[in-house]
Amino acid sequence: MFKQFATFLTAALACGILNAQELSPTHLHQPILTPQNSGTPNGLIAVWPVNPRVVWASGRAGTFTVTTDGGQTWRAGVVPGAEALQFRDVQAFSADVAYLLSIGITGDPGEFRIYKTEDGGATWTIQFENQNPGAFYDGFAFWTPHRGIAHSDSVNGVFPDLRTTDGTTWGDISNNMPPALPGEASFASSGTCVSTQGGRNAWICTGGSDIARVLATRDGGDTWNAYDTPLISSPSAGAFTVDFRDPFRGIVGGGDLDPADPNNARTAVSSDGGQTWALTNPPPVTGAIFGLSYVGRAGNAPGDNLGRAVVITANDGGAAWTPDEGTTWFALPGVSGFWAVAFATPKAGWLVGTDGRILKISF
């Protein structure tokens, strides 16, 4: 009966019979979606809200865009010298300080770079320029403005991952990483294959091999453990995106990029810091889940239990949300072509995607 009601609700929202804003927050409380003008037609791949007012996003053709008023206005720019690059990840700490991670399209290993601005994007400094011909840096994540890690696909059985402890220089921590499986890699689909929490916890999700895994550290990247997940894995499939709401409870999402195999979009949850994972009910999207984010965090969620709510996006495969970490799902009608999602608070989240599109999402 509940499944039938949920199906009716989604259809009613799509047809305008029900207004999402009129739903009681103590029941299903569909989010409010508000399109915003990003200031660029270039595809956006990653998004990072610093707080409900300051948000950065990044994407193709060397593009970044930033708002300081919650998205009412966005200021887009192109990093000089990066016009041919794609910024697959962004993380910021204020309206002035932000990092970008680039990939290239020509095969030059030096196109994998880390940039930093300290003046709101007026100028950028290259902090890292890759020289490893086999590396492919998929994403990065930070604990503080000066401490972070960057993750690459494996090269000859080794993950050539990086760490900064001063916000300026990046050092190789490949010797700290667990051995890679044959072909093991991650996916640069939204910058969320790497996630940090607290002061020293981090998780990296992988695929590309026979098993989709999560690599976890509790000590800021000094030591790591590898744990299996039940998600599909192959050269085109695996775990794409991971998030944790506290040191122990998290969710991972993925699927298969092969268009001939569109029905493996899945999420799995952990309650022991990523050591074990259990599949949730299948979400109502197809392909692969490019990005996901908790709506709230443990201890600061509102009374309608949004601490366990998660939003997922699967590019052309649609988008959806769950109030209970995957037991029940609700499609976001008409939301397609979005790559990444992130929240500052339950009332201040953003989806970014193709053609420079941005949606503010508010519960």
CATH number at residue 58: 2.130.10.10
Q: What per-residue confidence (pLDDT) applies to 23?
A: 34
Mean pLDDT highest for which of 1-15, 133-147, 290-304? Answer: 133-147
Neighbours of 209 (CB within 10 A): 19
Q: What per-residue confidence (pLDDT) applies to 30?
A: 87
Give the SS3 label for residue 41. Answer: coil
- The string over 278-288, giving b where at least 16 C-beta atoms fall within 10 Å of a residue's C-beta and e elsewhere, is eebeebbbbbb
* Same domain, residue pair 228 and 309: yes
Q: What per-residue confidence (pLDDT) applies to 211?
A: 98
* Same domain, residue pair 108 and 144: yes
Q: With the CA atoms of 363, 143, 314 and 356 taken in that order, what torsion angle do they form, in degrees rounded to the nearest 10?
A: 80
Q: What per-residue confidence (pLDDT) applies to 2?
A: 29
- The string over 48-86, giving b where at least 16 C-beta atoms fall within 10 Å of a residue's C-beta and e elsewhere, is bbbebebbbbbbbbbbbbbbbebbeebebbbbeebeebb
Q: What per-residue confidence (pLDDT) applies to 28?
A: 57
DSSP string over 277-318: -EE-SPPS--SB--EEEESS-TTS--TTTGGG-EEEE-BTT-
Residues constituting the chain: 363
* Same domain, residue pair 169 and 200: yes
* Same domain, residue pair 250 and 345: yes
Which residue blocks in the chain are alpha helix, DSSP H?
2-15
Share of the chain above pLDDT 90, in %: 87
* Same domain, residue pair 235 and 311: yes
Give the SS3 label for residue 9. Answer: helix
Range of 14's domain? 1-30
User: What's the pLDDT tens digit per position in 274-320?
Assistant: 999 999 999 999 999 999 999 987 555 444 468 999 999 999 999 99
pLDDT above 70 (res 25): no
Q: Compute the average pLDDT of residues 251-257.
A: 98
* Same domain, residue pair 39 and 23: no
* Same domain, residue pair 247 and 230: yes
Least reliable range by pLDDT among 50-64, 221-235, 289-303: 289-303
User: What's the pLDDT tens digit per position in 173-194?
Assistant: 999 999 999 999 999 999 999 9
User: What's the pLDDT tens digit per position in 88-116?
Assistant: 999 999 999 999 999 987 889 999 999 99
Instruction: For residue 21, give both structure tokens.
Output: 């804003």
Q: Which residue has the tokens 């020293």?
A: 200
Tell me whether residue 303 is exposed, middle or buried, using C-beta atoms within 10 angstroms of its C-beta: 0 to 12, 13 to 18, 19 or more.
exposed
* Same domain, residue pair 186 and 303: yes
Angstrom distance (rounded) from CA 98 to CA 116:
6
Q: What per-residue confidence (pLDDT) applies to 20?
A: 37
* Same domain, residue pair 67 and 208: yes
Instruction: For residue 292, give both structure tokens.
Output: 């996901």
Q: With the CA atoms of 30, 257, 338 and 192 taken in that order, what torsion angle do they form, in degrees rounded to the nearest 10?
A: 90
pLDDT above 90 (res 215): yes
Q: What per-residue confidence (pLDDT) applies to 74?
A: 98
* Same domain, residue pair 144 and 17: no
* Same domain, residue pair 25 and 69: no
Q: Compute the average pLDDT of residues 341-354.
A: 97
pLDDT above 50 (res 10): no
Q: Residue 307's closest CA among 245, 217, 240, 229? A: 245
Is the distance from CB of 146 to CB of 166 less than 8 angstroms? yes
Over the chain, what is the mean pLDDT? 91
Query: In what helix (H) or strand (E) does residue 359 lie, and over which residues does it extend?
Result: strand 357-362
Q: Compute the average pLDDT of residues 327-347.
A: 97
Angstrom distance (rounded) from CA 79 to CA 96:
15
Q: How many domains does the chain have?
A: 2
* Same domain, residue pair 7 and 96: no
Is the distance from CB of 148 to CB of 163 less than 8 angstroms? yes
pLDDT above 80 (res 143): yes
Is the distance from CB of 265 to CB of 279 less than 8 angstroms? no
